[in-house]
């Protein structure tokens, strides 16, 4: 099995939240089609608000994943250079 992509892993909680918001939208709309016209504006407002709130969450999670990936790569370069410096002595 391959190593999970940290950027995809960081976005998973927001993807779940968006799917839950979609599920709430369908629940808010209800099963009675005669009520859909009345319920649609409010249900849509809740859905859009829930989806919009995920933007900052995704950005923060992705930034943290990017920082971790960058720090890991930089640390490996430092270790490689220190190993070469030690070997040259």
Residue 61, number of CB atoms within 10 A of its CB: 19
Confidence of residue 1 (pLDDT cuts 50, 70, 90): low
Q: Are 13 and 61 in contact (CB under 8 A)?
A: yes
Q: What is the pLDDT of residue 54?
A: 93
- In this prediction the pTM is 0.72
Own/partner pairs, 84-88, CB within 8 angstroms, 24+ separation: none
pLDDT tens digits, 46-70: 999 999 999 999 999 999 999 999 9
pLDDT tens digits, 22-50: 999 999 999 999 999 999 999 999 999 99
pLDDT exceeds 70 at position 14: yes
């Amino acid at each position: 099995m391959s190593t999970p992509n940290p950027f995809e892993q960081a976005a998973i909680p927001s993807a779940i939240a968006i799917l839950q918001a979609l599920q709430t939208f369908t629940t808010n709309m209800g099963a009675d089609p005669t009520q859909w016209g009345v319920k649609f504006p409010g249900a849509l407002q809740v859905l859009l608000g829930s989806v919009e709130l995920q933007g900052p969450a995704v950005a923060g999670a992705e930034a943290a994943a990017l920082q971790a990936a960058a720090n890991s790569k930089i640390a490996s370069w430092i270790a490689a250079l220190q190993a070469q410096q030690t070997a040259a002595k």
